[in-house]
């Protein structure tokens, strides 16, 4: 029993009970099992063990108080495969809770599982290494269920919508799908929408359920509905590792979408462990709601930050995850983000793990004193190894995300020429209401899971009708130009899965819980949109060949010169493509965007120039004349043959 604890303020808890040990949760080996939790307000804490995920208590044992609010219990044996939870006594009441640090859980995650993690490694996982980091980071945003739910995916039914869909070669006998398709596309990273255990899908329910998964329950456990068996808690762990291993084997790195800004329920395991500590409250005592999901995790408090850091490091080490995308990063703090960057760099090498996030929140949130929100306006305080989604670039290219009919540069918007020429520098030379340290902080993108797909947005803004299924040449051209601008801008590159084959959600702008049929990738579209797919493949190949364009240093902005507005909708600029050990053939690039409805003639500067990209092919090689014709609604890139050596 512990009786020295009265109610403390959160600040006092941080000061008096701050615990920096890395051993919270359960550590299970062949010879011992050690349970540790941080629950400084508890008077008494009992561990309850179960033989099954949903069975009766098998053993009930009191935990021993240790230093700094930690409770512990050790067994001289492996309890691998047992389930457990805690009974916490406080103010004469007992509260049941699963373990927020758990690495395994039962079906639907309301009971934790003891796991000897070495027993969950698929064959060869110990030798699994991430593919080498290349010239550029090109991220493909994908939802696990969307990937293989379609019958045309070629994936057998038992694996459709599951982790294991990534482990099969990927073809339906007629054309490449799934993994084979990803490999051909040439992206360097796959960013997977949340695959920690989330609460909105019943893991015992049917396959027709769907959710994006931004509703965390067990932060350090993979989601069960993507596993082939939810009754044995080790299966989801092994299959999730198999997915990552398969992506690595195919040369693709894995980014995990993480949601540390709020939890599914405010009555979470964290709340039950230490009531009032892990969330932010308004002055009237109500929960703050900057996430628009009912609660905000109180990043900025010592043990909250430790929890988040430990969780990120756990996924990086145990699952070999190569990067993290932080949901509503604006609710987290600059200090926490920089700390995570530092810890990842120390453990894995500088910049080896990618980090980026949404530099905004849904609403204001009462932050801790002395902290700064990781918002766009504070990019200058964030480490330059932390990227932010550039909504400025997105909106200037295709128009506002919420107003379907509102156009951007490629679909009829006016007076955007200057802004487009700022966007290509990642806003490093002004034009936006923030100043990045370098374009390394910029994630260039034109569509993501949120809001309309690019195709739907273009249809709405260019035609104003609901015919999302027709193959429309003008929409196709605008799509290509939008992608061309994105891929010729300085910064990191990000695209939504299917953007490259006219993905439609039939005008649905927020499909987080729509049917899997609305959300899934329709693999046959890769055939119908062969031209667009091949254009994106070309852009990806081309980008990797242009080292000057891939430069992310603070001085990269000075590579861009001779910006010109030729007329409404037509702009161009030059980019110095020389690097120290020149690997490219082109020392200078000329890039032209023509968003107007007429073709336009552009004079080519002195020297021997080659057309490397035009309206039909994104990666070609053709000698240029003194004057080139840039087709309506298209982009062109020319390279000058090396003169500097
Ligand atoms: Ca779940």
Distance in Å, CA 100 to ligand 1 centroid: 14
Using a 10 angstrom Cβ sphere, with 0-12 exposed, 13-18 middle and 19 or more buried, the burial of residue 44 is middle
Q: Which structure tokens are listed for 11?
A: 């600040």
Torsion of CA 224, 226, 231, 233, to 10 degrees: -60
As given in the structure block, the two tokens for residue 639 are: 């390279």
> Is the Cβ–Cβ distance between 268 and 217 less than 8 Å?
yes
Number of H helices, E strands in the chain: 15, 27
At 582 the pLDDT is 64
> How far, in Å, is the centroid of ligand 1 from the Cα of 326?
19
- Ligand 1 centroid – CA 223 distance (Å): 5
Looking at the whole model, is its pTM more than 0.95?
A: yes
Sign of the dihedral defined by the CA atoms of residues 636, 407, 191, 552, in that order: positive
Which tens digits make up the pLDDT trace of 117-168? 999 999 999 999 999 998 899 999 999 999 999 999 999 999 999 999 999 9
User: How far apart are alpha carbons 447 and 202 in whole angstroms?
Assistant: 29
Distance CA 221, CA 404 (A): 38
Phi, psi of 533 (to 5 degrees): -60, -45
List residues bridging with 575 in a β-sheet. 560, 589
Task: List helix spans (H) across 113-196.
Answer: 144-148, 178-185
Residues whose CB is less than 8 angstroms from the CB of residue 206 and which lie 6 or more positions away in sequence, other chains included:
none
CA of 627 to the centre of ligand 1 (A): 59
Task: Determine the pLDDT at residue 5.
Answer: 47
Stated length of the chain: 645
Percentage with pLDDT > 70 across the chain: 98
pLDDT in tens, 305-354: 999 999 999 999 999 999 999 999 999 999 999 999 999 999 999 999 99
Please state, rounded to an integer, the average pLDDT across all residues of the chain.
Answer: 96
Q: What pLDDT is stored for residue 4 in this prediction?
A: 46
Report the alpha-carbon distance of residue 199 to residue 5 in Å, rounded: 33
CA of 160 from ligand 1 middle (Å) equals 17
pLDDT, one tens digit per residue, over 464-477 is 999 999 999 999 99
571 contacts 619 by C-beta, under 8 angstroms? no
pLDDT at 91 over 90: no
What pLDDT sits at residue 643? 66
With a cut of 80, say whether residue 185 has pLDDT above it. yes
**Range list of H helices, 144-228:** 144-148, 178-185
Annotated catalytic residue 358: yes
Q: How many Å apart are CA 495 and CA 441, to the nearest integer?
A: 16
Ligand 1 center from residue 334 Cα (angstroms)? 30
Collect all residues with Cβ–Cβ distance below 8 Å to 124 and sequence separation of at least 6. 245
The first and second tokens of residue 165, run together, are 């869909």
Determine the Cα angle at 76 with ends 72 and 80, to 5°. Answer: 85
Closest CA relative to residue 388, chosen from 351, 418, 427, 346: 427
Q: Decide if pLDDT at 565 tops 50.
A: yes
How many angstroms does the Cα of residue 256 sit away from the middle of ligand 1?
A: 16
For residues 551 and 541, the answer to whether their CB atoms sit within 8 Å is no
- Could you tell me which residues come within 8 angstroms of residue 530 by beta carbon, excluding any fewer than 6 positions away? none
608, 588 in Cβ contact below 8 A?
no
Reported as a single tens digit per residue, the pLDDT across 200-225 is 999 999 999 999 999 999 999 999 99
* CA–CA gap between residue 391 and residue 131 (Å, rounded): 30
Of residues 579 and 144, the one with the higher pLDDT is 144
Do the beta carbons of residue 277 and residue 13 sit within 8 Å? yes
**Average pLDDT in the 164-176 region?**
94
pLDDT value of residue 277: 96
- Please report the pLDDT score of residue 642 as a whole number: 80
In three-state secondary structure terms, 503 is coil
Residue 58 DSSP class: E
Q: How far apart are CA 519 and CA 201, in angstroms?
A: 15
Question: What is the distance in A from the centroid of ligand 1 to the CA of 193?
Answer: 14
In 3D space, the residue among 404, 525, 397 whose CA is nearest the CA of residue 465 turns out to be 404
Cα–Cα distance, 419 to 535 (Å, whole number): 25
Q: Give the closest residue to 615 by CA, choosing from 481, 486, 515, 456.
A: 481
pLDDT of residue 581: 73
Residue 52 and residue 600: Cα distance in Å, rounded? 71
pLDDT for the residue 3: 45
C-beta neighbour count of 445 within 10 angstroms: 23
Distance CA 23, CA 19 (A): 10
Angle at 171 between CA 167 and CA 172, to 5 degrees: 125
CB 472 within 8 A of CB 456: no
- How far does residue 221's CA lie from ligand 1's centre (Å)? 9
Catalytic residue among 99, 141, 152, 358: 358
Query: Is residue 207 flagged as an active site residue?
Result: no
pLDDT of residue 1: 44
> Which residues are within 8 A (CB) of 618 and not within 5 positions of it... i.e. 6 or more apart?
480, 484, 487, 534, 535, 536, 537, 538, 539, 541, 542
Cα 156 to middle of ligand 1, angstroms? 23
Buried b (16+ CB within 10 A) or exposed e, 149-175: bbebbbbeeebbbbbbbbbbebbbeee
Q: Which of 152, 327, 383, 551 is catalytic?
A: 327
Taking the centre of ligand 1 as the mean of its atom positions, its distance from the CA of residue 222, in whole angstroms, is 8
Task: Give one DSSP letter per residue of 364-419, joined into a string.
Answer: ---PPTT--B--GGGGGGS-TTSEEE-HHHHHHHH--SS-TT---GGGT--S-HHH
Residues 610, 575: Cα–Cα separation, whole Å = 15
Angle, helices 473-487/391-398, rounded to nearest 10 degrees: 150
Residue for token pair 């850091």: 309
More confident residue, 203 or 583: 203
Q: Kindly report, residue by residue over 488-515, the tens digit of the pLDDT.
A: 999 999 999 999 999 999 999 999 999 9
Going from the Cα of 448 to the center of ligand 1, the distance in angstroms, rounded, reads: 23
- Cβ within 8 Å of residue 617, ≥6 positions away: 534, 535, 538
The 3-state DSSP class for residue 538 equals helix
């Amino acid at each position: 029993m512990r009786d020295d604890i009265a109610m403390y303020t959160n600040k006092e808890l941080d000061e008096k009970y701050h615990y920096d040990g890395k051993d919270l949760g359960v550590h299970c080996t062949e010879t011992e099992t050690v349970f540790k939790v941080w629950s400084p307000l508890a008077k008494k804490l009992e561990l309850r063990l179960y033989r099954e995920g949903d069975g009766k208590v098998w053993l009930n044992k009191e935990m021993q108080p240790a230093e700094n609010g930690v409770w512990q219990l050790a067994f001289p044996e492996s309890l691998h495969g047992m389930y457990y939870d805690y009974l916490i006594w406080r103010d004469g009441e007992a509260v049941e809770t699963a373990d927020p640090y758990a690495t395994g859980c039962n079906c639907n995650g309301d009971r934790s599982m003891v796991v000897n993690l070495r027993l969950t490694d698929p064959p060869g996982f110990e030798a699994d290494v991430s593919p080498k980091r290349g010239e550029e980071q090109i991220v493909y945003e994908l939802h696990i269920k969307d990937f293989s739910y379609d019958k045309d995916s070629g994936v057998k039914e038992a694996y459709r919508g599951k982790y294991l869909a990534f482990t099969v070669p990927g073809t339906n006998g007629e054309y490449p799908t799934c993994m084979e398709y990803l490999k051909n596309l040439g992206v360097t990273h796959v960013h997977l929408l949340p695959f920690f255990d989330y609460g909105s899908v019943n893991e015992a329910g049917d396959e027709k359920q769907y959710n994006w998964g931004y509703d965390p329950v067990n932060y350090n456990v993979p989601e069960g509905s993507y596993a082939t068996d939810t009754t044995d808690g080790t299966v989801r762990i092994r299959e999730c590792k198999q997915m990552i291993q398969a992506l690595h084997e195919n040369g693709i790195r894995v980014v995990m979408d993480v949601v540390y800004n709020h939890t599914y329920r405010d009555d979470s395991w964290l709340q039950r462990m230490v009531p009032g500590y892990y969330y932010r409250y308004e002055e009237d005592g109500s929960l703050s709601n900057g996430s628009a999901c009912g609660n905000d995790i109180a990043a900025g408090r010592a043990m909250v930050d430790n929890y988040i850091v430990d969780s990120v490091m756990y996924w990086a080490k145990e699952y070999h995850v190569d990067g993290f995308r932080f949901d509503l990063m604006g609710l987290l703090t600059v200090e926490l983000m920089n700390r995570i960057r530092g810890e990842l760099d120390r453990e894995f090498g500088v910049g080896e793990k990618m980090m980026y996030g949404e530099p905004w929140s849904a609403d204001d949130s009462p932050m801790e004193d002395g902290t700064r929100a990781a918002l766009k306006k504070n990019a200058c305080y964030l480490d330059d190894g932390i990227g932010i989604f550039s909504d400025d670039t997105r909106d200037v290219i295709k128009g506002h995300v919420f107003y379907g009919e509102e156009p951007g540069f490629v679909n009829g918007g006016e007076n955007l020429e200057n802004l487009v020429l700022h966007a290509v520098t990642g806003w490093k030379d002004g034009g936006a209401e923030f100043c990045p340290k370098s374009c390394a902080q910029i994630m260039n993108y034109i569509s993501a899971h949120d809001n309309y797909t690019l195709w739907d947005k273009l249809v709405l803004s260019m035609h104003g009708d609901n015919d999302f299924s027709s193959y429309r040449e003008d929409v196709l051209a605008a799509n290509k130009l939008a992608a061309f601008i994105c891929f010729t801008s300085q910064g990191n590159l990000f695209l939504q899965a299917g953007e490259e084959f006219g993905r439609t959600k039939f005008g649905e702008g927020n499909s987080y819980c729509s049917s899997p049929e609305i959300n899934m990738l329709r693999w046959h579209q890769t055939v119908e949109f062969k031209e667009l797919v091949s254009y994106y493949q070309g852009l990806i190949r081309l980008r990797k060949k242009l080292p000057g364009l891939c430069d992310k240093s603070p001085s990269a902005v000075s590579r861009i010169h001779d910006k010109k507005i030729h007329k409404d909708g037509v702009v161009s600029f030059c980019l110095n493509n020389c690097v120290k050990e020149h690997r490219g053939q082109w020392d200078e690039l000329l890039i032209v965007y023509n968003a107007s409805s007429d073709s336009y003639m552009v004079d080519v500067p002195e020297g021997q120039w080659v057309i490397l990209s035009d309206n039909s092919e994104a990666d070609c090689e053709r000698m240029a004349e003194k004057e080139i014709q840039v087709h309506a609604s298209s982009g062109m890139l020319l390279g000058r043959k090396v003169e500097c050596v």
